[in-house]
Chains A and B, each alone.
Chain A
């Protein structure tokens, strides 16, 4: 800087000792120094704060999705209702019986006065999940001896009631401003007072596919979809990526063509992911006729996307293996391919695997290209194979985030927590691998 304390040329006083004067500028310069430093620290702190807010907002919204409120109802498995035509009770009659009626009867018995008004009656029936009848049917089909008995059965509350029970809806608001009516609150309080409302772990969230009903919706389908898709991605991108890296790093002559490949790979790594989706749509779906919405097509698109990551990571891992190892093996009469497969590749493998895991983690979080090839469809069934329609975790997040129901916000956040959990796990493995096998030459 120019404003230094004093100019050395100015004083030609000879051997006389010059005092170390403190320039008036100096304090100012140090103040600027501190300011600059603080700005830097503040930037890092901002990034950290944002991360906290982000994770905090998601956890605070999502943690409650892992629990659901249930309500105990007294169900009379009356013969009249289940078998209105009389005659012997066959499995078939049980299959087709009106279980919804049982649930509604139970609710009507509970609140006889609510049954008069049609709108209120519908609200009353809506207290429990719309799938309550399917649950009852499965109970009876498993144990036909239930017919004719009276049982206390625990039902999932519907999404709005569950949200209320969790305390996310303020009961002091005017009725028109909240999603639950006064009557619904009254009913809830009635059950609550009798100790018939209880909280249970939402196991369905981890074992079921998507559903229109938030309380029935689970991420299992999307999870299996992600696993199938990533399997395709890994099976394609890992071998191809490693082989390409081995060729470029160990065998390729240095010429224009290999330069072109190299530039091309670097650029491919920075192409927007959505463009890969367009490629998948035009080439895999329209040209090769792969099935839409299938993990096969999705996995291939993600494989092309992760390929540059794996190639670049593998090349730097191969480059880190010292040439003396190659020379030693060559000098013993190993062929170039033997040198690579016996020595270089095993030594580079930790680095290659680390890169692969990081690439897979990127693929796991990728959404946009999969929207292009139809993996955004509403799919209830858990996919069974690589060509079944499927969705994946991040797309499930996207679908739920678009749903209007309040309860889906909590599901979305919970799905994000699961997704982030997997990402953390994968990255932890990568870090561990790097730490454990890192070799300094």
Chain B
């Protein structure tokens, strides 16, 4: 909160700098703004940038560096018998306790005098650090102001400088997308690497047994845990398959009907309807699957003497299919509309009916695009989380019977990471290995699908 106020104050400072820079520029031009290279407002922005940028950068660096220095000082000040022989996680716990005491929370070690002393030291260091930071940051801001004021003259190309800075900011913005991807890949790779030092790679990819519960104590029964992900892959594929069985025909036929048969009035009503279906949050579908569809299938199964699990793959798969229908239909609608009218006319000219034209001319012509759309839909089904978390099971059964409960990659990621996380146990880390597999499979599907769709577009553009 304090930092937030400092940031606001800096912005205020920069705003004052803006008016000062403006006034200064007009003054140096002898009150004739026309003689300036740029409009006076650019000189204002120039000054504001010189105040704001260096000080905000300093602030950010300070915020990152200060806690580490302070932690080092505090932990270094502790009696050596307290820190000797502590593992990294124990060390972290101790530090956490000290922080808690410092912020006034009750802690298990709150009555330890060494901890209390360290907490007092921590608070006072933080206080000093904050004051130093405010002084430094505003000092840099004032320096920027003085520098900019000095530089301002009618020949200074303020606009060009300001625009260059803005251009750099624009470039940085567009790099954030790249940084996100890099961040995803690096964090997944890093944690997965740690996981694979504990569990062999081949055992993870080809093992048939998944039970990630590692014991808390080494002497407990079944302490090893099994990390064979094949049951998860099979479960994911089973549910995805069911989803596509539902979504592909309905989505495709809807798209064909909308593109080829429906009159504008029907389209105006049906398209938004499909968009609504697409806009419903997945958690709602999950609730629907768990509370309406699953009991329905269970009841229906019972009435014909089938034993359907209450967390059957069928229920999760069907609802996931429903979720994907609008996705398939809107993508296919686009590709079907891109088929040139001349192809249809050719077919009609030979005396073909509409459905014959669609089946033998339009669909084959649009096939690459449709395949791309279906691949994207599969990628989406594989990565979908909430429906399966709420409607599919947790037990990793290796089966392809849709009436039984199966679990999926995403379900396991959620279960492994909700609740206590220990980044030194294989249990928590296995979630990242699963995430890595998920990321690369969906990435591959997307790259192929987008490539196919793009090729298709180029063909008819």
Residues of chain A having any CB pair with chain B under 8 Å: 1, 4-5, 29-30, 32-33, 36-37, 39-44, 46-48, 50-51, 53-54, 57-58, 61, 239-241, 243-244, 246-248, 251-252, 260-261, 263-268, 270-279, 281-283, 286-287, 289, 304, 307-308, 311, 335-337, 361, 364-368, 371-372, 376, 385, 394-395, 397-398, 401-402, 409, 412-413, 416, 419-420, 423, 427
Could you give 17 example pairs across A and B, Cβ below 8 Å?
A: A1-B353, A37-B354, A39-B253, A41-B257, A42-B253, A47-B273, A240-B173, A244-B170, A244-B176, A252-B174, A264-B181, A266-B446, A272-B382, A274-B438, A275-B438, A277-B417, A335-B159
**How many residues from B make CB contacts under 8 Å with A?**
95
- Which of B249, B353, B386 makes the CB contact (< 8 A) with A368? B386
* Chain A residues within 8 Å of B252, by CB: 43
* Chain A residues within 8 Å of B356, by CB: 1, 29, 33
For A245, the closest partner residue in chain B by CB is: B174
B281–A272 CB distance below 8 A: no
Residue B206, interface by CB 8 Å? no
Residue B435, interface by CB 8 Å? yes
* Chain A residues within 8 Å of B275, by CB: 427
**How far is B351's CA from A93's CA once the two chains are assembled, in angstroms?**
95
- Which of A279, A281, A337 makes the CB contact (< 8 A) with B417? A281
For B177, the closest partner residue in chain A by CB is: A265
Interface bits B123-136 vs A (CB < 8 Å: 1, else 0): 00000000000000
Q: Given A40-B256, A278-B431, are A365 and B438 neighbors across the interface (CB < 8 Å)?
A: no
B258–A243 CB distance below 8 A: no
A278–B257 CB distance below 8 A: no
Residue B335, interface by CB 8 Å? no
CB distance from B2 to the nearest CB of A (A): 12
B385–A272 CB distance below 8 A: yes
A46–B383 CB distance below 8 A: no
Q: What 4 pairs between A and B have smallest CB-CB spacing?
A: A272-B383, A40-B257, A365-B281, A282-B187
Residue B276, interface by CB 8 Å? yes
- Which of A29, A61, A277, A367 makes the CB contact (< 8 A) with B281? A367
Residue B94, interface by CB 8 Å? no
Q: Given A282-B190, A283-B187, A311-B177, are A368 and B159 neighbors across the interface (CB < 8 Å)?
A: no
Segment from B23-31, B283-291, B304-312 that makes contact with A: B283-291
* Chain A residues within 8 Å of B376, by CB: 270
For A250, the closest partner residue in chain B by CB is: B170
* Chain A residues within 8 Å of B254, by CB: 40, 43-44, 47
Residue B280, interface by CB 8 Å? yes
Residue B313, interface by CB 8 Å? no
CB distance from A124 to the nearest CB of B (A): 32
CB distance from A374 to the nearest CB of B (A): 8
Which residues of chain B (308-328) have a CB below 8 Å from chain A? 322, 325-326
Q: Given A247-B173, A268-B181, are A47 and B325 neighbors across the interface (CB < 8 Å)?
A: yes
Q: Given A244-B174, A272-B383, are A365 and B288 neighbors across the interface (CB < 8 Å)?
A: no
B287–A366 CB distance below 8 A: no
Which residues of chain B (341-390) have a CB below 8 Å from chain A? 350-356, 358-360, 376, 379-380, 382-386, 389-390
B180–A398 CB distance below 8 A: no
Residues of chain B having any CB pair with chain A under 8 Å: 1, 67, 159, 163, 166-167, 169-171, 173-178, 180-181, 183-184, 187-188, 190-191, 249-254, 256-258, 260-262, 270, 273-277, 279-288, 290-292, 322, 325-326, 329, 350-356, 358-360, 376, 379-380, 382-386, 389-390, 410, 413-414, 417-418, 421, 423, 431-432, 435, 438-439, 442-443, 446-447, 450
Chain A contact surface mostly: helix
- Which of A39, A252, A267 makes the CB contact (< 8 A) with B450? A267
A419–B281 CB distance below 8 A: yes
A51–B277 CB distance below 8 A: yes
11 extra interface residue pairs, beta carbon distance < 8 Å, beyond A44-B253, A44-B262, A47-B254: A29-B353, A33-B353, A33-B355, A39-B253, A271-B446, A274-B435, A279-B183, A367-B386, A398-B386, A409-B291, A423-B281
B286–A401 CB distance below 8 A: yes
Chain B contact surface mostly: helix
Q: Given A267-B446, A308-B177, are A275 and B435 neighbors across the interface (CB < 8 Å)?
A: yes
CB distance from A6 to the nearest CB of B (A): 10
CB distance from A249 to the nearest CB of B (A): 10
* Chain A residues within 8 Å of B283, by CB: 365, 367, 394-395, 397-398, 401
* Chain B residues within 8 Å of A394, by CB: 281, 283-284, 386
For B63, the closest partner residue in chain A by CB is: A288
- Which of B171, B279, B417 makes the CB contact (< 8 A) with A372? B417
CB distance from B99 to the nearest CB of A (A): 11
**How far is B182's CA from A260's CA once the two chains are assembled, in angstroms?**
13
CB distance from B248 to the nearest CB of A (A): 11
B190–A368 CB distance below 8 A: no
**How far is B184's CA from A427's CA once the two chains are assembled, in angstroms?**
30
* Chain B residues within 8 Å of A371, by CB: 389, 414, 417-418
**How far is B422's CA from A273's CA once the two chains are assembled, in angstroms?**
22
B190–A4 CB distance below 8 A: no
Q: Given A279-B187, A368-B410, A401-B390, are A274 and B178 neighbors across the interface (CB < 8 Å)?
A: no
A278–B435 CB distance below 8 A: yes
**How far is B352's CA from A33's CA once the two chains are assembled, in angstroms?**
10
**How far is B376's CA from A249's CA once the two chains are assembled, in angstroms?**
26
CB distance from A330 to the nearest CB of B (A): 14
**How far is B358's CA from A37's CA once the two chains are assembled, in angstroms?**
11
A43–B257 CB distance below 8 A: yes
For A57, the closest partner residue in chain B by CB is: B292
CB distance from B321 to the nearest CB of A (A): 10
Most buried by B among A29, A275, A397: A275
* Chain B residues within 8 Å of A361, by CB: 279
**How far is B432's CA from A283's CA once the two chains are assembled, in angstroms?**
13
B350–A267 CB distance below 8 A: no
* Chain B residues within 8 Å of A58, by CB: 284, 287-288
* Chain B residues within 8 Å of A427, by CB: 275, 279
**How far is B77's CA from A319's CA once the two chains are assembled, in angstroms?**
61
B180–A279 CB distance below 8 A: yes
**How far is B450's CA from A46's CA once the two chains are assembled, in angstroms?**
29
Most buried by A among B184, B286, B322, B450: B184
Most buried by B among A4, A30, A273, A367: A367
